[in-house]
Amino acid sequence: MRYLLGSLFLLVPALALAHPGHGHGGFGAGFVHPLLGLDHLLAMAGIGFWAARQHTLRGTLGVIGAFLGAVVLGFAVGAGQGAQPLVEFGIIGSLLITGALIFGARRVPMAAAAAIAGLFALFHGHAHGAEMAAGLSAALFASGFTLASALLLTAGAGLAAAAARMRQMRPMERVGGGVLVASGVYLLIVV
């Protein structure tokens, strides 16, 4: 399984930073944006996994809620500012740090986890806002990427719950954390 994930990662470098095919209208374009960017997809699933791994359901929902609130705030800033060169490094940092937290099975208090997730979400939201095509409805675009983000965060949390039930948490942490760190390193090289 880990070799399959590693091979997939190496076969899709164009998806890592590119977000093609956003001509679906506001909601559709927003919905596919986090799904077509491997950086967004991995970071959000990773944050959901990390949150569920260390917290109760209530704590996990708090971290996910903090992420979703901050991603919308970041979107508003990004839509107003446009592209900023350091935002991609913030996104890469979210992959590296989330991967290290997962790999090392790092637990932090719920408030700190929500703050970490919120900080990362600001970068991801900024990218969504800055990359929104002209002429699209900002409200529809934001609704689309917020729903997709919630689904990715939930999928990551669900993966953590499944790994715990199957008593495969440690191998999943090693593989998942390693994939996120490797992705972040790869993106640092190509940026």
The CA distance from 15 to 66, in Å, is: 26
Question: pLDDT tens string for the chain (191 positions)?
Answer: 444 344 444 444 434 444 444 445 689 999 999 999 899 999 999 999 999 987 788 999 999 999 999 999 999 999 999 889 899 999 999 999 999 999 998 789 999 999 999 999 999 999 999 989 888 999 999 999 999 999 999 999 999 999 999 998 899 999 999 999 999 999 999 97
Q: Would you list the domain boundaries of the chain? A: 24-190
Which residues lie closer than 8 Å to 151 by C-beta, 6 or more apart? none
Give the torsion sign (CA, 138, 49, 66, 82): negative
Tokens at residue 58, please? 């209530």
| Residue 190 burial (10 A CB sphere; 0-12, 13-18, 19+) | exposed
Provide φ and ψ at 132, rounded to 5°.
Answer: -65, 130
| Sequence-distant contacts of 136-140: CB under 8 A, at least 24 apart | 136/25, 136/26, 136/29, 136/30, 137/26, 137/27, 138/26, 138/75, 138/79, 139/26, 140/25, 140/26, 140/27, 140/30
What token pair was written down for 31?
């919905």
